[in-house]
Chain A
């Protein structure tokens, strides 16, 4: 074996060892969550083994029933779907307008949207609650969905505007010659090309909505309207926590979002790594 081969093997081993340690750091908490979900309240603090001696699969069933996950799960699916669709539609329309249209106060409006990202959510709780109450939207699904769309808009508009700014205008000109309207250009040309950026927006906002609880607690009173995170609260007392059931609940709550990530990871990586820049190759592929 020559020195180059040795160097290559050493380099590769070091790289793989580093990547493996990073992967382990990410995966270990998930493993620990599932492991703790399979223990009892008595053994969770005592048993330090990686795989518990007695596996309590019944914890998942108990957590589902006690946390009333059936209703909350459906609510979360509804909120996540509605909010993500809302954000994608509104932010892409807004971003496309900011990128392509000329209208008075365009920059001021854009900076206002961007500035909205700087306001921490708890800072806006009281005015938001008063506003929603005046609109009779407190304790309604619609009110919560509107608020959550509002939360996700700023970042999504910023991401998509950057994307549309870099997108060459030739395609739109060609479509315009074919008789496409402004709305048609957005729907038929801009949106399909923005798929990687939209994938990033979808996963970021799905995660955000799926894990959201504070705004839901503020705006919703009716238990039947609450999202999945409300179910997890059942296992956390002010002073005591039922760890196995909480971990089982967390596993149930995390599973769908993991699936969404796995399903969309190709687009997400593309969206993030390419900086969402359009290339001529893509245009060729599109036509």
Chain B
């Protein structure tokens, strides 16, 4: 798949650059826009951003890797975000994530988000989803699932195709 930024998007980003005293300050806005358009930030997107803003690719790469919500790989169709902040952690979110991983054949000990080989599921730990009262919680795409147990997790996997 070749990397091509639509002219309208490029024009919007060029205009955006003028809002900042330094071009470099527009880096995050560029990355947000590119992720929104392409679904993830590819190496080509990093190089394109660096070229546009007069930076070296490593400068942009630092940003992309610093923020966990910038995605370097395409996400699965169903995106399972398991909360790991205190309430959920106490209520067993680690087990919930391990269950998801096990069912999907992923490594439960890995640090970063993982996507199944068929591209259907991505599982990752995230920080607080602001539903501590019903921990552990899982956000599947845009839907919040509360008090998630192994059985509920299996339901989620069944429906999320």
A and B: real partners?
no
